[in-house]
Amino acid sequence: MGFHMRIKTALGVFALTTLSPAAALATNGYSSHGYGTISMGMAGAGSALSQDSIAAATNPAGMAFVGDRIDGGVEVFSPRREYSVEGPMSPPPAFSLQPGTYESSKNGFVIPYFGFNRELSDTTTFGVSVFANGGMNTDYSGESGGTFYGGRTGVNLEQLFIAPTVSWEFADNQAIGISPIIAYQRFAAEGLQSFAPFSSDANALSNNGTDDAWGYGYQIGWQGGITDTLRGGVSWRNIVKMGEFDKYRGLFAEQGDFDIPQMFNAGIAWSGIQNHWFLLDIQHIRYSEINSVGNPVMPITPGSLGTDEGAGFGWDDMTIVKLGWQWQQTPGHAWRAGVSYGENPISDEDVLFNILAPGVQEWHFTGGFTHNFSDNLELSGMAFFSPTKEVSGPNPLAPNQTISLEMYQIGAAASLGWTF
């Protein structure tokens, strides 16, 4: 076995270990509302203020300011999602769904994350941040034939990011950073056989088990002081080009293509009140640029699924505003809170396919803390709530029916940080 293959195999084993049993994380679309316990406690804000070695997920430049440390944590996440169908069933060629309300099972998930950072000199650091996405996860029972009359129905998407990061403090309290990104994702779908007439390859549409793909990209950023009490930060991640899901080339546009979209982060952090930080971040995720995600559901025509212009989930770009607060109550204990809002990416016209991926959440309310047990060891915790959001629209294949998607979420996380 060659060196390249050994490395790829080792990364694959690591990815499988890290993702299992992680699955769903549909908060801002299918991106997390934040990365790392500290940032998540402030609704994901942190582009301008980095405090742990998961910071590269938000802004690689922030690794210049976190020192020598190791962080490891886990999030317990519970999304409660369902869909409802109202209106009579019509005979073919209409594609009517069974009226009623149907809940997705598998409501509890565990998502681990890890970070390491080391100062190589007075001005440079090297670190690695490992974090995950998910979110397109549903599992509906096969009762009454199943959602789309193919038995048990659902999808599962998981994404892992490994971000080795180099940062350079090029001037006092001014740094830039870059993270080459190694991405791994896997996907499975079942219960979609009824869409075979619409697929360009019906044998690669549904019930083909789990497929996986690797991809590569990068993220760059700046972070630094603007005044004595004001910090700023910006970062940009390019489109992460992924290998194709060949087992599902008859489902996803562009023959199974499922790249990871661009993401922009910008923020400020103000410490004008003693022992307090106030953070404002703006995040922009360009889902619409990824055809398999951004293409509209309609028109869906015979043989179109899987083609370049084939139906997607119709997701719009998301812009999320995040407000965070941190209070250093004592030298060894800090409290946090946050709120974020981003308009959900799913329009009324695209509810049919999004029964599979109801990423409709908009508001997130968070709280958190860090407690120092010693000069070297700290424990951080976080909890969040995302209230119920509903999106309703017509069934485009049976317009006398209305489909409603609904979800709310709760979650908590804890991590240990060790400085050395």
Q: Where would I find the beta strands (DSSP E) of 87-150?
A: 100-103, 109-119, 124-133
Find, among 158, 214, 212, 211, the residue nearest to 183 by Cα: 214
What ranges do the domains of the chain cover?
A: 3-419
Length, in residues, of the chain: 420
> What local confidence, expressed as pLDDT, does residue 8 receive?
45
| Mean pLDDT estimate for the chain | 91
pLDDT of 4 > 50? The answer is no
| Highest CATH level, class, for 3-419 | mainly beta
Distances from the Cα of 30 to the Cα of 27, 122, 381, angstroms: 6, 38, 22
Find all residues with CB under 8 Å of 309, minimum gap 6, and list them. Answer: 253, 291, 295
Pseudo-torsion of CA 27, 33, 37, 39, nearest 10°? -170
Asked whether 219 and 44 are in contact (CB, 8 A), the reply is: no
Asked whether 317 and 287 are in contact (CB, 8 A), the reply is: yes
The DSSP-derived string for 152-175 is SBEEEEEEEEEEEEEEEEEETTEE
Q: Which residue bears the tokens 């801002």?
A: 28
When mean pLDDT is compared across 13-27, 122-136, 306-320, 397-411, the lowest value belongs to 13-27
pLDDT of 33 > 60? The answer is yes
> What local confidence, expressed as pLDDT, does residue 24 receive?
46
Distance CA(383)–CA(42), nearest Å, equals: 10
Give the pLDDT mean for 164-188. 97
Strand partners, 188: 156
Identify the DSSP state of 256: H
DSSP-based three-state secondary structure for 111: strand
> What local confidence, expressed as pLDDT, does residue 144 receive?
82
Structure confidence by residue, pLDDT tens digits, 263-285: 999 999 999 999 999 999 999 99
pLDDT of 17 > 50? The answer is no
Consecutive H or E run containing 296:
none
Consecutive H or E run containing 99:
none
Between 233 and 13, the higher pLDDT residue: 233
Q: What is the CA radius of gyration of the chain?
A: 22
Distance CA(14)–CA(163), nearest Å, equals: 14
pLDDT of 15 > 90? The answer is no
The DSSP-derived string for 321-344 is EEEEEEEEEETTEEEEEEEEEE--
Phi/psi at 73 (nearest 5 deg)? -150, 175
Residue 93 — very low, low, confident or very high, per pLDDT cuts 50/70/90? confident
Asked whether 163 and 180 are in contact (CB, 8 A), the reply is: yes
Count CB atoms within 10 A of the CB of residue 10: 10
Fill in the amino acid letter for 379. L
Most confident of 76-85, 143-152, 176-185: 176-185
> What local confidence, expressed as pLDDT, does residue 16 receive?
43
Distance CA(216)–CA(379), nearest Å, equals: 33
pLDDT of 315 > 80? The answer is yes
Distance CA(7)–CA(12), nearest Å, equals: 9
Tokens of 26: 């549909």
First to last CA, the chain: 37
Tokens of 224: 């630094």
Pseudo-torsion of CA 86, 90, 92, 93, nearest 10°? -70
Phi/psi at 327 (nearest 5 deg)? -125, 120
Distance CA(62)–CA(286), nearest Å, equals: 23
Find, among 79, 95, 75, the residue nearest to 87 by Cα: 95
Q: Looking only at Cα atoms, what is the longest distance across the chain?
A: 73
Distance CA(77)–CA(24), nearest Å, equals: 8
Q: Which residue bears the tokens 């719009």?
A: 316
Pseudo-torsion of CA 347, 22, 133, 241, nearest 10°? -110
